[in-house]
Amino acid sequence: MEIKVACEYDIVIARSAAKTEAKKLGFTIVDQTRIATAISELARNIVVHGSNGIVRIEAIEKGDCKGLEIWAIDRGPGIENIELALKDGWTSGGGLGIGLGGAKRLMDEFEIQSEVGKGTKVRVVKWMRN
């Protein structure tokens, strides 16, 4: 499923959709909350830094493991220094500076690609524990 993200309300929609999908797959309530929190942070970054973008949520499988893959994609200004952006406390938007790093810690896989002037793509995955 793909959700357009351009305002605060869209963050709530993305969060709810991710939690619903995680519940359908059988994730625990703790992991549902981790996924919803991570997607909230990523969607908020789209609104604050990228103006608009998309969040894509997809159930995935790898062997016997089920998971949830989430992409957060924008065409904003990009991130000049990804390493710095992942450090807790650093912010370019006046927030707490825990968004990207927090999303990384909450999920099992985290990838980020960003190009200044072209935008940012973040991919996160949470695997269901058997």
The DSSP-derived string for 21-40 is: HHHHHT--HHHHHHHHHHHH
Q: Please report the pLDDT score of residue 78 as a whole number.
A: 86
Mean pLDDT, rounded, for 23-38 = 95
pLDDT exceeding 70 applies to what percent of the chain?
A: 89
Q: Please report the pLDDT score of residue 95 as a whole number.
A: 46
Mean pLDDT, rounded, for 80-109 = 70
Q: Taking 60 as the threshold, does the pLDDT of residue 53 lie above it?
A: yes
pLDDT range class, residue 96, cuts 50, 70, 90: very low
Q: Please report the pLDDT score of residue 88 as a whole number.
A: 62
Quick one: which H or E segment has residue 10? helix 8-25
| Cα–Cα distance, 67 to 18 (Å, whole number) | 12
Q: Please report the pLDDT score of residue 66 as a whole number.
A: 95
pTM comes to 0.86
